[in-house]
Structure 1
Amino acid sequence: MPSSTAMKQLSQLATYIATSVTEIGYAVDFTKPYADIRSVYMQKSLTPLSQSVQSSEKHKGISYEKGSSEFLKYMECFVKMVKSECSFSRKILGNATQRTAALRSTIGPPLAEFVAAGRQLVAIAKRLPYSESIFVFDILEKYERDCQASLDAIGQEYDLEMKELTELMQSVITTALKSFYDFMEDIKGKREANSIVNISVDGTVNEMTSNTLNYLKRLILWRDMVEPLLICIGDGGWNQPVMSQSISFDKISFGGSSSLGAALLQKFLVDALDQLCISLQTKSRGYKKPTLATVFLLNNYNYILRQIRSPPLNAIFDENTEVKFGKLVKKQLDAYQESWKPCVENLMDVTYVRGGTIKNALSGADRQMVKDKFKNFNMEFDEIWRTQTAYAIPDPELRNQVIRDVKNVIVPMYGRFLDKYQSTEFTKNPSKYIKYDKEKLERMINHLFEPSA
C-alpha cells in the first residue's frame, strides 16, 4: 500500500484527470490502466495460495483436520484483498461510476482464478468417497461465518456482483448434501460387491462400524452447517439422490441452531445406526460358526454403545438409543454363553442324590457315566478353547466381562464335580480323565480373546 503522501498525490491526480475535460478538450478514461495494474498486483499476491490448494487438498483424505485446508487461507486472503482494494479505490477514485467500473475489472481476474481453484477442489471432492471429502463442510463454514457478510456488504456498497462465487458455493452445498446420500448408501452396503467379504477372521469390530462412527463424530464438528443442510432436504431426504436443480439455495439459513435442525440431526444419526445394524447382521451371516458370528455382533454393538456414550455423540443421542444398544449387547452376551452349554451339560451331576441320600458307592454304570462326563467335558472344553483363543474382543472391559461370566459358571461347576469324584474309585487311572484342576482351568479361560492370540 502506498504511503499517505503518495495516496494523496494519486487522489489529486485522479481528480484532476477526471475533471480536466474542459481544460484539455476531451475526457480521459484512466480506469483501464488503473484496473490492469491493480489486477496484476492482486493476482501475483494470490497465485501462490491458489497453487498450494491443488498440491495439498486432495491428499488429505480421512486424516483431514478441521481448519487445515489451504483453500481456507486462500479464501481469507482473497476477501481481505478485495476489501483492501475497495478501500484503496475509494481513496483514489472519487467518481463512484468510475470506481465501480475499475473495481469490476480489477477484481474480475483474481476472482476468476479463485473460483477456478474452488471448482477444481469441488470436482476432487465429488470423485472422493464421502469420508474423504469432509473438507467441503470446512469450506462452507469458513465462507458462511467469515466471508459472506463482508462480500455482500462490499457488493452493495460498490455495486459489485460476484455471481461466479455464489455459484461456486452452491456447488459446495450440493457436494455436501450428496455426501449424506453417499454415506447412507455405503452403510446399506449398496457400494459393496459382496457384503460378507470384508469381515475379519477373528470377529473384531468391522471397518464399516468404525468408519461410520468416525464420520458421524466428524460431522458434529460442523454441526452449524450440517443442521441447515438437513433442514434443506427434509426428514429422510438423505436416502434420496440430490439434484442441484431441486435445492432451494436461497432458503438455506446458516445463522445459528434450531430445534428442527437438532431433531433432524438426531434422526439422521439414528437412521445411520439402524442401517448399520442391518448391515452388520447381514455380514454376520458370512461366518460359518455361530459363536464367531455372535462375537462379531457383540464387538460391533459394544463399540457403537461406547461411542454414543462418549463425546461428542452423547450430546446428540438420547437415552432410548443407549438403552437399545445396551439390550443388543446383552442379547449377544447371553447368546455367547450358550456356546459353553456342552461343557455345562457334562458337569451336571446326577449321582449326588439317590432317594434323598448322598450316594457314596458307584455302580459300574455310574463309574462309566463319570468317565464319559470327564472325557466329554475335556473334549468340549479343548475344542471351545482352541477355537475361541483365535477370536478377538479388543475392548478390555468387555473381554473381562465375558471371561468373568464364563468363569462364574464353568469354574464352580467343574470344581464341585471334580471335588466330588476325584476321591472316588470311578477309575483306576484318574489322570486319564482328570485333565485339569480348577486353577489351570481358570488360567486357560483367562487366555480367551487375547489380543496376541
Structure 2
Amino acid sequence: MSRDVFDENKGLENFQRSLGSVAKDIEEASDILMFMDKRLGVLEESTSVIRGDVTNYNRVSSNIYDTLKEMEVLQVIHSNLPKIKAELNTSDKNDASITEKIQLVMKMLRVLARYYISLQSSPLHFSTKTQRKVEIALSETCSRLSSLCQKVLQTHAASSLKKTTTILDLDQTWAFPTETLQQFMGLIQQFDNEVLYPISYSSDISSNYVKTKSECLVQLLNSLFSQSEAGQLNEASKEFVLGKEEIGIYLIALARILSATASELLQLYDTETSQALYQRIGKNVISTVSNSIHQCETAYEQQSSLENHILFPLIHCVKITEDYIQMNMPFEDVALFDLVSGVRKEVEKIIISSLSNLYNGYCNSSKPVALSTNGISDIARGIMLFLTRLCQYKDSFYLLESIGDWGWRHEVTADLPQSTTARELAQNYIMDCLLSHLNSVEESANAIDTLTWKKGIILLNISVYFESACVESEIATYLDDEHYNNFSELSQKYSSMYMDVWRQCSQNMLDATYTKAKEKPNMSTKDREATKEKFRNFNEQITSIVENHKESVRFEPSVAKFLLQEVRKTVLPLYQRFYDKYFTSDFTKYKEKYIRFTKAQLDSYITEAFSPSLS
C-alpha cells in the first residue's frame, strides 16, 4: 500500500511540474501574442491608409471617366443643334403635308427634350451655355409646333364653315368633319405621353381648340344670316327660313352647332374633359348671341301687336329647338337651356298681350279708323296676317287657350257663345276680330258722313279680302259655312252701297217715252232741253266717277272683276237704249257736245275705272 501511495505522490508531482511547464509556455505565448497584437495594430493602420488611397484613386478615376462622357454628350448636343434647326427650316419650304411637318417637329422636340433633361443633370459648370441654346431651340420648336397646330385647327374651322348652307335643313344630320382632327389630337396625346419635357401640348391645344371653335361657331352664325340674305342656303333651309325671325334662326342654329360640337368633343376627348371644354365653348358662343337676342326681345315689346305676328313662328322655333336639344345634345347645357327657356317665357308674355291688344286696339278700337278707298288698309292686312300666323303655327294655340273664352275683350257680355273645343275658341277669336274691325270701319265712316258709295268701296274691299284670305290660309280649317255666309251677306250689303253711285248716274238715262229706232220723234222745245240736260248730267257724273276711280279707288282684283260686270249690267243697257233713241233725233244740232260716247266707247271708259285694280 505504501508503494502505491508513493507512486501516487510521485505522479502528482510530475503532473504539477507538467502544469507549471504548461503555464510557463502559455505565459510566453501570451507575451508573444501581446507583442503580435501591437504589431498587427500598427499594420492595420498602414492598411487603412492604403485602402483610402485606393478608394480616392478609384473615385478620381470615375469622375474623370464621367467628365469625359459628359463632355462627349455635350459635344454631340452642340453639334446637333444646328442640324435640327436646318432640318426644320428645310421642312418649312418643302411640299410635305401639315401632318408630316407636325410629326417631324415632334420628333425634333423629343430629341431636344432629351437634351434638355440630360443637361439639367450635367455636373459640368461650362454646360450652362449649351443648356441655354437647347432651351432656346425648345422654345422656337414649340412655337413652330403651336403654329402648325393652329393651322390644323383653322383648317378644320374653315372646312366647318362650308357646311353653313345646310344648318337649317332639319332633315339632314349635321356634324363637323372630325376624321382629320381626330388624327391630329391622337398625335398630340401620344407626344405628351412619350416626351418627358415638362409641358403639356394637350392642354395648349385644348385651349386653342376652345378659342378657335368658339370663333368658328360665331362665324357660322354670321355666315348663316349673310348666306340667307343672299339666297345661298340649300332649298330646305331656304324654305325653313321663310317667315322666321332672327331669334328663331339663332336658336335652332345654336342647337345644331352646339350639339355637333359636343359630339365632336366626345370623339376627341374622354367624357369628363369633353364636358369641361364644351361648357367653355358653349358659354363663349351663347354670350356672343344673347345680347342680340335680348335686343330683339326689347323690340318685340315695343312694337305694335299687328307686327307681333312674327312671334307665332318664333314659338314654333322654340319648340323645335327644345326637341332637338333633347334628342341630340349629349351633355346637359344649363346656359343653352336658360337661353331657350328665357326666350319662350318672354315671347309667351308678349303674344298673350298681343292677342288682347290686337282686338281692343285695332279690331274693336274706340278710336276713329283711318279710311281709304285706295285698296286694303295696312291695319286690315295686319289683322289678317296676325290671325293667319296664329292658325298656321298651332304650337301657339295654348296661349290663346290660356286667355280663355272672350278673355281678349275688355268687356264680356252674357250672350257670347262659349266654346267647348280649341277649334271653337279659335273660331270665336277669328270672327270676333274680323267682324269687329268691319263694324269699327263702318262706324268711323258714318261719323264723318262718308258718301255711301265710298263707304261701300272701303267695306267691300275689306270684307272680300277677309273672306278670300281665310279661304286661302290655314284659317279655313277653323271656319264653317255659316262663317263664310256672314262674309257673303256683308259683301252683298257693301256692294249695294257702292253701286248706289252708278245707279244714280244711270237714272239720267231713264225716259218715260219710247221711240222705235230710226223713227224721228217730234220733240217739243221742253223735251229737247230735258234730253240735253240728261246727257249733260250723265256725262258729268260718269266722268267724275271714272276719274275718281282712276285716281284714288283701288279694289282687290276679284272685287274689281265682279263690280265691273255689275256696273256694265246696270249702266250699259239703259245708255244703249237712250243712245239708240236720241242719236238720230233732232234734239240738238250739236250732238257731239251731248253724246260724248258711243256704246262701245262707254264700255271702254267704264272699264278704265277698274283697270288700275286689274293690272
TM-score (norm 2): 0.53
The partner residue of 1:343 within 505, 508, 512 is: 505
Q: How does 1:94-133 map to 2 (within 5 A)?
A: 109-110=283-284, 113=287, 118-133=293-308
Aligned-pair RMSD on alpha carbons?
4.6
1:66 matched to 2:66? The reply is no
Structure 2 CA distance for aligned equivalents of residues 6 and 430 of structure 1: 99
1:218 matched to 2:389? The reply is yes
Letter in 1 for 2:351: A
TM-score (norm 1): 0.69
Which has the greater radius of gyration?
2
Q: How does 1:72-91 map to 2 (within 5 A)?
A: 72-81=252-261, 91=270
The partner residue of 1:405 within 562, 566, 571 is: 566
Q: How does 1:428-439 map to 2 (within 5 A)?
A: 429-439=590-600
Match of 2:603 in 1: 442
Structure 2 CA distance for aligned equivalents of residues 439 and 153 of structure 1: 71
Deviations 1:278-309 (A, max 9, x none): 33324545574432222222222222222122
Match of 1:176 in 2: 351
Letter in 1 for 2:601: K
Letter in 2 for 1:440: Q
Q: How does 1:372-387 map to 2 (within 5 A)?
A: 372-387=533-548
Structure 2 CA distance for aligned equivalents of residues 267 and 330 of structure 1: 23
Structure 1 CA distance for aligned equivalents of residues 262 and 408 of structure 2: 37
Match of 2:406 in 1: 236
Cα distance, 1:339 vs. partner? 1.0
Q: Given that residues 280 and 297 in structure 1 are in contact (C-alpha distance below 8 angstroms), is that contact kept between their aligned partners in structure 2?
A: yes
Taking a change above 3 Å as real, the CA distance of residues 363 and 150 of structure 1, as seen in their structure-2 partners, is closer
Q: Given that residues 53 and 71 in structure 1 are in contact (C-alpha distance below 8 angstroms), is that contact kept between their aligned partners in structure 2?
A: no
Cα distance, 1:48 vs. partner? 4.1
Q: How does 1:45-444 map to 2 (within 5 A)?
A: 46-48=217-219, 65-66=243-244, 69-81=249-261, 91-93=270-272, 109-110=283-284, 113=287, 118-148=293-323, 150-151=325-326, 164-165=338-339, 166-188=341-363, 195-196=369-370, 199-200=371-372, 202-223=373-394, 225-239=395-409, 260-285=421-446, 288-352=450-514, 361-427=522-588, 429-444=590-605
Structure 1 CA distance for aligned equivalents of residues 457 and 552 of structure 2: 8
Cα distance, 1:421 vs. partner? 3.4
Structure 1 CA distance for aligned equivalents of residues 579 and 541 of structure 2: 16
Letter in 2 for 1:238: W
SS at 2:537 equivalent = helix
SS at 1:450 equivalent = helix
Cα distance, 1:142 vs. partner? 3.1
**What are the ranges of 5 or more consecutive residues in structure 1 without an aligned counterpart?**
14-32, 58-62, 241-258
Structure 1 CA distance for aligned equivalents of residues 504 and 514 of structure 2: 20
Deviations 1:377-436 (A, max 9, x none): 334333333433334234334223222222222222122223233444444554454343
Cα distance, 1:144 vs. partner? 2.2
Cα distance, 1:340 vs. partner? 2.5
SS at 1:417 equivalent = helix
Cα distance, 1:171 vs. partner? 2.2
Cα distance, 1:211 vs. partner? 2.2
Letter in 2 for 1:278: N
Q: Which has the higher contact order (CA 8 A, sep 6+)?
A: 1
Q: Given that residues 204 and 392 in structure 1 are in contact (C-alpha distance below 8 angstroms), is that contact kept between their aligned partners in structure 2?
A: yes
Seq. identity, %: 20
Structure 1 CA distance for aligned equivalents of residues 274 and 545 of structure 2: 84
Cα distance, 1:73 vs. partner? 0.7
